Amino acid sequence: MIRRVVGFLALFVVVAAAGGAQEPPAPPPAVPDAVQRELQAVQDLLARATAEFEGPQQSRSIVILDEMITRLETLRREGTLTPRGREVLAQAYELRGRAYYNIGLQEKAADSFRSLIQLQPQYALSKEKVSPKIVDYFTPVKKALVGYLAVSSKPAGAKVTLNGEFLSLTDFFPLEVLAGDYRVEIARDGYRTETRTVSIAPRATETLEVPLTRTLASAFFVTEPAGVEIWIDGARAATTAGALAPDLVLAARDKGLDPARASARTEVGGLSLGSHVVELRKKCHEVVRKTVDLSEAKDYEIEPVKMEESLASLSLKSEPPGARIYLDGEAMGVTPKELEGVCSGKHRVEVKHASGKFLQDVVLERNESLTLDCPIRPSLAFLGVVAESAGGERVVADVQEALVKNLSKLTTLNFLPGPKETVDRILDADRLTRKGLLPGAGTDPDLIRKVTEKLAAALEVQGFLLAVLPEERLQRTAALQLLAAGNTVADRFDVAFNEAASYLRFLAAVDQKAAVYHSWTGIITVDTLLHEGVPILRLAAGGPGSQAGLLPGEVIDAAEGRPIKQTADLLALVESKKPKDRLALHVKGASARAVEVVLGQTPQEIPLNDPALLYNKVMMDLRQQVEGYPGTEAAAFARLNLAVCAMHFGDFAAAHEHLLKARTELPQRPGISQGTALYYLGLALERLGYKKEAVEAYRAAAAAKEATLFDNDGPAVAPLAARRAGP
């Protein structure tokens, strides 16, 4: 039986297609969930009814078909019956009519067939699938209800509607319609809509021939090359395509076009009379603008247009180098790179590195050569706002908008929204919520570390920001939680989310970079009341002071022509200068003399506890050094400082991992070196409960006689390590 129904539907489609062109299908409207459920239920009933209809007691199908028809007619009256629902309703009427006929109830069969014809006047039973007796019975029932209508128009292609319902496109042969009175509308874009009234009697044929009066103009375009967008009054109307027709070759050549590259004649119809602004646009070409005057309702041939190429060049370099370049999302190599033949216009430049990225929108003019320095900055993903009370929930959207507006002013980080779907998927995979990433949630630190690393890889970021709205009687505060990828404890910073000034301290704290190097003399002095100046206690081996010829015991009494009375005076002067600057000293010893010291640079440890620092931001900056300059001393010193930051948070397991790498990456020399990493490795192992391994690390550190802590002039590692190692 299912094959019969399908066969009938195929026949119906063929008949309709033969009668006239079909209206282009419009996008189907959204179907409410309740209607979808009802249609699915009816579809299930159809399967049951078909099985009964094909079975030995066909009459049992009538009860099921009655229920189907009642439910579908209800949807039809409510105006929610879908096209598929109409097809099922027609099937139900056909099956019920045939079932009634087969049990001898011809009048009831006729009623079902009449309802079917009123639903779909062009419905026909398949002579191959349905009993000839039923077909012969159905035919006069249909003829008593149906007449015929044929409509033609000049020009053809007009849309014909009967009482507001689409019938076909002109011209078409007589189509079956229900007998009755109709208001017929014949409409075509660019022409006045014509209306006719017609009465159609059963079995009769009515014919309408309708001339259409043109009201709008059409413009025809030819361009070189094809693929040019045609914009009329700010709206895209068409795109040129195809190849030029032979009869237009000479005209195109006369206008300077290459016929082999020119487009086919492209129509833009339905244009109102009057002046129109035309823009011709194609990527990598100059925009052509012109005004056309369409004073009459006729066809206009617009002068053929040859589009001029519009290209520029872009030079990109980054720090660190070797970053991947993406122009409007397309991979273009790595920095440094010269990009030639770049289309003029607006572009999105992305330069991505494992340590961060650079983002900027640029506008290139024709023949412009633009050079971009692309400083790689860490990226911070905003994970959204979490409320701890019902009052907070009501303002989440407003708070999020205010936060994004104010935090987009960050200058040392790329502030990016974290895609909710991606973030939710990664968190859900580990059964973790956003609040589970924060202190006090009781989440296993190793899980936080794993999840933040996964998020960082998926989002291409180095850290995260989550805002928490605490429970307050008056909701004013947002607790900003900053968490570096791979870290386990966030930094908290409270802001009044509706006060722009409240964000300034946070912006300043985030944009502050921790000092990891400073200018260095290698001169260690001591304050005393016995001298006018500061005596030199010792000199770092191979340091700038030693290289300048200074000697222990000499007294520095002036620098840069200023008197030096205490060590702080000398340090302040050194801090005001940069590495490789020269520092003029006056010293007294066996004799007074002037000495010029060329300043060097010393690595500097991050303070273990500095209230002014956001340690998670510091960790993001340090990871940029590690990932941006692998294998360098700068990366090794950054690794050591990552361990110090981890110890700040009490995460000695993470510190241990960093120090294992730092002890092999740091140089073996006086000052901050492998001995420094070994000493801190001993501290981490001791805090983790590995006393034997800690002693081994301390003993190795004690052997590094010239290693120091804090910076190259700091306290010696060896005696400190020896004391902690014990006998």
The answer, yes or no, to whether residue 7 has pLDDT greater than 80, is: no
Neighbours of 323 (CB within 10 A): 26
Would you state the structure tokens that stand for residue 215, as one six-digit string? 């009201």
The answer, yes or no, to whether residue 14 has pLDDT greater than 80, is: no
Domains and CATH numbers, the chain: 2-24+32-144 (1.25.40), 147-211 (2.60.40.10), 217-306 (2.60.40), 311-375 (2.60.40.10), 379-511 (3.40.50), 517-603 (2.30.42.10), 615-725 (1.25.40.10)
Cβ proximity of 533 and 585 under 8 Å: no
The answer, yes or no, to whether residue 27 has pLDDT greater than 70, is: no
The answer, yes or no, to whether residue 20 has pLDDT greater than 50, is: no
- Distance between alpha carbon 69 and the CA centroid of its chain, in Å? 48
The answer, yes or no, to whether residue 22 has pLDDT greater than 70, is: no
Provide, for the chain, the percentages of residues in helix, strand and coil under a 3-state DSSP scheme, each rounded to the nearest 5: 35, 30, 35
The answer, yes or no, to whether residue 5 has pLDDT greater than 70, is: no
pLDDT score of 11: 29
List the one residue out of 673, 726, 683, 682 whose CA is nearest residue 700: 682
Over residues 428-440, mean pLDDT: 93
The answer, yes or no, to whether residue 224 has pLDDT greater than 50, is: yes
Q: How many CA atoms lie within 13 A of 571 on its CB side?
A: 9
Query: Is 126 exposed, middle or buried (CB count within 10 Å of its CB: 0-12, 13-18, 19+)?
Result: middle
Helices and strands, counts by H and E, the chain: 20, 36
List the one residue out of 23, 19, 22 whose CA is nearest residue 172: 19
Q: What is the 3-state secondary structure (H, E, C) of 566-624?
A: CHHHHHHHHHCCCCCCEEEEEEECCCEEEEEEECEEEECCCCCCCCCCCHHHHHHHHHH
With H, G, I as helix, E, B as strand and everything else as coil, classify residue 667. coil
The answer, yes or no, to whether residue 671 has pLDDT greater than 50, is: yes
pLDDT digits (tens, 9 = 90+) for 472-490: 888 899 999 999 999 999 9
pLDDT digits (tens, 9 = 90+) for 275-288: 999 999 999 999 99
pLDDT score of 513: 86
Would you state the structure tokens that stand for residue 3, as one six-digit string? 């094959």
H helix or E strand, kind and range, residue 100: helix 83-102
- Cα angle: 365, vertex 367, 369; to 5 degrees: 85
| Contact residues for 291 (Cβ-Cβ < 8 A; gap 6+) | 275, 276, 277, 278
pLDDT score of 28: 65
Would you state the structure tokens that stand for residue 244, as one six-digit string? 């030029």
Over residues 231-248, mean pLDDT: 96
| Contact residues for 20 (Cβ-Cβ < 8 A; gap 6+) | 167, 168, 169, 170, 171, 172, 173, 175
The answer, yes or no, to whether residue 18 has pLDDT greater than 60, is: no
List the one residue out of 240, 161, 233 whose CA is nearest residue 198: 161
The answer, yes or no, to whether residue 12 has pLDDT greater than 70, is: no
The answer, yes or no, to whether residue 451 has pLDDT greater than 90, is: yes
The Cα 214–Cα 146 span in angstroms is 34
pLDDT score of 24: 53
DSSP 422-465: HHHHHHHHTT--SGGGSTTS---HHHHHHHHHHHHHHHT-SEEE
DSSP tag of 248? G
pLDDT digits (tens, 9 = 90+) for 581-634: 999 999 999 899 999 999 999 999 999 999 999 999 999 999 999 999 999 999
The answer, yes or no, to whether residue 2 has pLDDT greater than 90, is: no
**End-to-end alpha carbon distance in the chain:** 97
The Cα 618–Cα 281 span in angstroms is 48
Q: Is 631 left (phi over 0), alpha (psi -120 to 50) or beta?
A: left
pTM of the model: 0.64
- Distance between alpha carbon 660 and the CA centroid of its chain, in Å? 38
Beta strands (DSSP E) in 250-378 are 266-271, 274-281, 288-294, 299-301, 305-306, 311-319, 324-327, 330-334, 337-343, 345-353, 356-364, 369-375
- Distance between alpha carbon 372 and the CA centroid of its chain, in Å? 24
| Contact residues for 9 (Cβ-Cβ < 8 A; gap 6+) | 87
Cβ proximity of 577 and 583 under 8 Å: yes
% of the chain surpassing 90 pLDDT: 90
The Cα 443–Cα 435 span in angstroms is 10
